[in-house]
Structure 1
Amino acid sequence: MGKFYTPKSKQRDDRYLVSVEQYKQYHRDGFLIVRGLLDSSQVAELYELAEEKRLSQLDPSKQADKNNSDPLKEEFAAATRIHMLSRVNAAAERGMLNPRIIDVTEALIGPDVYALQSMLFLNPPGKGGQGWHQDSCYIRTHPDTLVGAWIALEEVDEENGCLWVVPGSNHEPVYPPEGMGGGNVHALDAFADLHGVENVSHLDDQVNTLSKVVESYPPPIPVPMSAGDVLFFDSHLFHRSYPNRTTDRYRRAYVCHYCNARSSVPWDHDGFEGDSGNYRQILARGCTTHPYAEPAFGTEVYLTDEEEASGSVAMMGMDNGMMMPMGMKKE
């Protein structure tokens, strides 16, 4: 017999409950801003981590390489963005597995949630920024359920490099960059007119051909945020940021990615693109039939107790000849 699946997480006093309007807005526009989702102590821990990394890793003497065709390589070289701190740092793991962030993620794409990736952005004056792109171009999941959570660690505005988004572009397919390997989001040859794009993420719109698709929409909008605000955004959403134009402000942010834990993930961040990288992904909420990792630093997660949340399903006949499911307790 089949089973009912009635997901149920442990209750908490500070659980964030998503409204129906928020759910609708996210799926309509491709993003949702939850103001003040993280409290001051949670923001402070991540901000202190950002400061520690800034002081120990960032070399302000490094200048832009004008001959570099890939601006992201410069950002990595200058250590203005640091990937996967959650695998080596307890505070970073706590940030990625913050239960209130998972509460929202669970409502939007759950009930089962993998925590996949963490990125710490510093964006000092004159640096940072990333051209138009779609996150599912880089992290593929099957089914395609990827979502990002962008956590502001300080005031973020147009001057120091806030995100810009194209509302409604989440309904677009993922435009495959020419020459990028590692599989596709969509079935090959499923579209009659899905064309490839070049130089995705490049800051120059004349070079980044995804900008031509962006031009078919109303003007993009900026997303100013305050410390503790979290922007959740669909992985198909066109989004970008510009370099920090200030002379005395940073733009510190912590960005994490999640997907439904029923998805296969042929990715583990460390260069592996194979049958499955699921065993490297932390199960943050619900349950899954795939392999998964546990938090390396013991951060608490709230998983579904399958024995309590499911039972057998049988079918019973009705007087009109139709069949309906009938719940039966497992003995």
Structure 2
Amino acid sequence: MTTVSTPERTSSVRLHENVTDEFVEQVRVDGYAVLANAISSAEVAEINAEAARLCRGELGHVEGDFQVDLDASDEEAMRRYLCIHMPHKVSPVMERALRAPRIVEALTRVIGPNVKAMQSMIFMKSEGKPGQAWHQDEFFIPTRDRSLTAAWIALDDATVENGCLWVLPGSHARGVIYPDREHNDERFDCTVEAYNFPYKDEDAVPVEIPAGAAIIFNGYLLHRSLPNTGKHGFRRALVNHYLSAESLLPWRPVPGQHVAKWDYRDIVMVAGEDPYAYKGYEDIARPHIRPDGEGGCDR
């Protein structure tokens, strides 16, 4: 067992060296587990360099309040944005990361042999940038079989100071989507927050992990992050979402389409077979910036 800590709060997070039965059992019981060295240091550097190219505008159009500045340094470009969704749409590097072998190994043990990806997000989170309030990923990305699973890949050492992920262990187990509301807490970005759940902030565990490690966690797990309060530097992370290929994906339904039949087909198969391959595949989502005012927070 490997542990990491910071002066602000000591945490003991197990980093599993391999995808063992114990790893899978922790995901089942706690809702999350950490895989050490999920990607190599060279892959971390390659993804960070690609993130800078994306933020400069070298990889093509990004929707939202985006500024193309090909002369900006890596740091200048990345400090402009907190998060860009769907980078795998324009970056072969990010697209390859969807299929990182050790992460796919974990997914096939946790989800099943047939796995598809449907979203990627690159977080830059420089000093002073906000976190995200308590939420469950299944609130945003519903699945038919509760199989939604995230791979949160640290691209810098993630610590309490720079805004690591915090989780409420076991909060996924009931399979309940908790109520949501808008908020005006400036510690967080403006997505809605979950509330009225039977846990306290004191129950939360900070998941401090080194660059290259990945948190594999269930879509019903309550989690949040706090601002990057460090004096300098980033807390970068690549976050990809997966589900069983057997599950229809009723995400972004089309008006008039029966919800029981709706199946979002802008996906990437990462393991096994697609039982719905006969439907074909679509190219729908485009890279876009997470808006600061999302969720009704006006500041």
Equivalent in the alignment of 1:142: 144
Q: Do residues 120 (structure 1) and 122 (structure 2) align?
A: yes
- What is the CA distance between 1:48 and its match in structure 2? 0.9
- TM-score (norm. length: structure 1): 0.66
Equivalent in the alignment of 2:206: 222
Kept in 1: contact 2:31–2:171 (CA 8 A)? yes
1:248-327 correspondence runs (5 A): 248-267=232-251, 275-291=261-277, 293=281
Change in 2 beyond 3 A, CA 1:202/1:86? farther
Kept in 2: contact 1:50–1:252 (CA 8 A)? no
- What is the CA distance between 1:288 and its match in structure 2? 2.5
Say which of 85, 91, 94 aligns to 2:93: 91
Please give the secondary structure, in 1, of the residue aligned with 2:206: strand
Kept in 1: contact 2:148–2:244 (CA 8 A)? yes
C-alpha distance in structure 1 between counterparts of 2:138 and 2:181, whole Å:
15
C-alpha distance in structure 1 between counterparts of 2:213 and 2:186, whole Å:
25
Please give the secondary structure, in 2, of the residue aligned with 1:284: strand
Q: Do residues 39 (structure 1) and 23 (structure 2) align?
A: no
- What is the CA distance between 1:221 and its match in structure 2? 0.8
Equivalent in the alignment of 2:12: none
Equivalent in the alignment of 1:187: none
- What is the CA distance between 1:141 and its match in structure 2? 1.0
Q: Do residues 102 (structure 1) and 104 (structure 2) align?
A: yes
Please give the secondary structure, in 2, of the residue aligned with 1:280: coil
Deviation per CA, 1:44-64, whole angstroms, max 9, x where unpaired?
2111112223455887xxxxx
Equivalent in the alignment of 1:198: 181
Kept in 2: contact 1:124–1:249 (CA 8 A)? yes
- What is the CA distance between 1:294 and its match in structure 2? 9.6
- TM-score (norm. length: structure 2): 0.72
Kept in 2: contact 1:134–1:174 (CA 8 A)? no
Change in 2 beyond 3 A, CA 1:209/1:148? closer
Kept in 2: contact 1:166–1:239 (CA 8 A)? yes
Kept in 1: contact 2:138–2:220 (CA 8 A)? yes
Kept in 2: contact 1:283–1:294 (CA 8 A)? no
Change in 2 beyond 3 A, CA 1:140/1:199? same
**Number of aligned residues:** 241
Change in 2 beyond 3 A, CA 1:234/1:252? same
In our comparison, the structure showing a higher alpha carbon Rg is 1
Q: Do residues 233 (structure 1) and 217 (structure 2) align?
A: yes
Change in 2 beyond 3 A, CA 1:84/1:201? farther
Give 5+ residue unaligned stretches, structure 2: 1-16, 68-79, 284-299
Equivalent in the alignment of 1:169: 171
Change in 2 beyond 3 A, CA 1:248/1:218? closer
Say which of 243, 246, 250 aligns to 2:227: 243
C-alpha distance in structure 2 between counterparts of 1:201 and 1:47, whole Å:
31
Question: Identity of counterpart residues, as a percentage?
Answer: 32
Please give the secondary structure, in 2, of the residue aligned with 1:91: helix
Kept in 1: contact 2:187–2:226 (CA 8 A)? no
Kept in 1: contact 2:168–2:199 (CA 8 A)? no
In structure 2, give the amino acid aligned to 1:132.
W
Give 5+ residue unaligned stretches, structure 1: 1-15, 60-77, 177-195, 296-331
Change in 2 beyond 3 A, CA 1:282/1:22? same
RMSD: 3.0
C-alpha distance in structure 2 between counterparts of 1:113 and 1:227, whole Å:
25
Deviation per CA, 1:74-97, whole angstroms, max 9, x where unpaired?
xxxx53201111112111101112
Equivalent in the alignment of 2:22: 21
Kept in 2: contact 1:128–1:242 (CA 8 A)? yes
